[in-house]
Amino acid sequence: MKKYLFSCLLLMLPPVLWNLLLASKLPPAFQPEYFNRSVPGFLLYTENSMRFLLFGITALIPLELNTRIQKTGLAIYAGGLLLYAASWLLLIYVAHSGWSLSMAGFSAPAWTPLLWLGGIILMARRFSITLSFSRWYILIPAVLFLLAHITHTLLVYLQLFPPAAQ
């Protein structure tokens, strides 16, 4: 049981807790009744199934800091987590700023996980079970999750701020 407790799943918990504690404080466009309203079902399915798969995979990867790459991964993870938190705080506390209303600012909570997930991927070297390891096992679901998550957010942004007709 210890090998599952000290896994990279621990690194998934801070973003989850952040979401649970602060999601209701985000602007109305980010609330589930609006945010998920007109997004295609296949996109929501892809986003959520890849999120679930990432949780499962990280539970099988021991949290180790034995190599230089793993230590670099931890630094990238920590920096990415700080940027992720900052992206939320800007949307919550300065929702009407130029940054928060821009495509980059509005979608920052969707693309900043690229950094902290990238850090986790760099820390991954093996599974805690008897299964051959390849970073592709975590990289592919991470990329699919990020593509779906970012696309989802951009679709919502474009509904709120449609491009001017040419």
Residue 163 lies inside a defined structural domain of this protein: no
State pLDDT tens for residues 8-27: 999 999 999 999 999 999 99
The predicted pLDDT at position 166 comes to: 43
Q: Does the residue 128 lie in any domain?
A: yes
* C-beta pairs of 65-72 under 8 Å, 24+ apart in sequence: 65/123, 66/125, 67/125, 69/122, 69/123, 70/122, 70/123, 70/125, 72/122
pLDDT, position 103 = 97
131 in any annotated domain: yes
- Angular region, 161: left φ>0, alpha ψ -120 to 50, beta rest: beta
Q: What residues make up the domain containing 84?
A: 2-157
Give the confidence band of 1 by pLDDT, cuts at 50, 70, 90.
low
The answer to whether position 164 is within a domain reads no
In whole angstroms, what is the distance from residue 96 CA to residue 65 CA? Answer: 41
Split into its structural domains, the chain has a count of: 1
Q: Is residue 130 part of a domain?
A: yes
Give the pLDDT mean for 99-108.
Answer: 98
Q: Tell me the percentage of the chain whose pLDDT exceeds 90.
A: 91
- pTM of the predicted model, to two decimals? 0.93
Query: Which residue bears the tokens 């979608």?
Result: 107
